[in-house]
Structure 1
């Protein structure tokens, strides 16, 4: 499985934080920080927008590193992704992601 597929099945390579990091794109960091701050009603600054993917070594956003319940659960269970978890079909933790992004199931099962 592609290591840039997140624990939840989202494709990290399509994430603006990942794109800004690998391209060292300050304008994209600023745009993403502004959008994420508005969406999350939280103080997110451009310097917070650095991530190399949630399943790889390297820098991660604060959310991905320490606040994401999906990542925390997968690490505790020792699964490569939620696709390896026997509770995937009934899991409420990843269920919202799946509902909003049905394509993640392809990533998790692929």
Structure 2
């Protein structure tokens, strides 16, 4: 199973914060902080760009660690990903991710299949 698939199905290995952390790339941290600050209309500093992945141990982006309702829900339900949740098809939270990122649904289905075969 791919440990870098987030609870919502996004691939953490494709996230700029994860890439910057994995490669200790300060220039990518600066670039990402600038882009995300503009995108989210919120102050984000380069030192905030540290993440070892949604489901793994280690650093998390503050949003992911403290505010992500999908992550909170999956942890509360003791799920590997939302793909194992009986309510996934009707869940508006994960539905919003899937609606804007078709790869997330593919990842959730793959994780579900991998989990059921072990």
Which TM-score bucket, shorter chain as reference? over 0.9
- Which structure would you say has the larger Rg? 2
Gap runs ≥5 in structure 1:
none
Structure 2: runs of 5 or more not aligned: 111-118
Instruction: Report the count of equivalent residues.
Output: 110
Where in structure 2 are the equivalents of 1:43-82 lying within 5 Å?
43-82=43-82
Within 5 A, what are the aligned runs for 1:3-42? 3-42=3-42
Hey, what's the Cα distance between the residues in 1 that align with 2:45 and 2:104?
28
Q: Structure 1: how far apart are the matches of 2:103 and 2:59?
A: 26
SS at match of 2:102: coil
Query: Hey, what's the Cα distance between the residues in 2 that align with 1:4 and 1:75?
Result: 16
Q: Which runs of 4+ in 1 moved over 2 A?
A: none
Task: State the TM-score, normalizing by the size of structure 2.
Answer: 0.91
* Alignment RMSD: 0.6
